[in-house]
Amino acid sequence: MAMMQASGGPSPGQTCVLILIFTVLLQALCVAVTYLYFTNELKQMQIKYSKSGIACFLKEDDSDWDPNDEESMNSPCWQVKWQLRQFVRKAPRMKKHWARK
């Protein structure tokens, strides 16, 4: 006696292909949602950092700097001012160096 398959249902091969397609689509959706989430977070961080850097130069951030306070040392405003101060200190030496060449 030969076994006969019901003609109404999908074959096991078709079921496997459908599961594979569903899995790939689900992964693509997860990657897209993750990409959008992290892109938005990065954009918000960039906006926040640029505003804090601009606030330093516009004197909107007049917080005092205490070298013993770790929180004020990690302030983006202090970091921007420190980098600018270092650049200004090196500028006269660089000018002399360029004049020699």
Q: Is 47 in the same domain as 24?
A: yes
Q: Distance between CA 7 and CA 10 in Å, rounded?
A: 8
Q: Is 45 in the same domain as 30?
A: yes
Q: Is 69 in the same domain as 45?
A: no
Token pair recorded at residue 73 = 């040392």
- Residue 4 lies inside a defined structural domain of this protein: no
Number of domains in the chain: 2
Q: Which domain holds residue 84?
A: 63-101
Alpha carbon distances (Å) from 101 to 86, 89, 90, 95: 23, 20, 17, 10
Token pair recorded at residue 53 = 């850097």
The one-digit pLDDT tens for each residue of the chain (101 residues) are 445 555 678 899 999 999 999 999 999 999 999 999 999 999 988 887 776 666 666 665 555 555 566 666 666 677 777 777 788 887 776 666 666 65
Q: What is the pTM of this model?
A: 0.45
**What's residue 51's pLDDT?**
67
Q: Is 52 in the same domain as 71?
A: no
**What's residue 86's pLDDT?**
80
Planar angle of CA 76, 79, 85, nearest 5 degrees: 145
Q: Is 23 in the same domain as 44?
A: yes
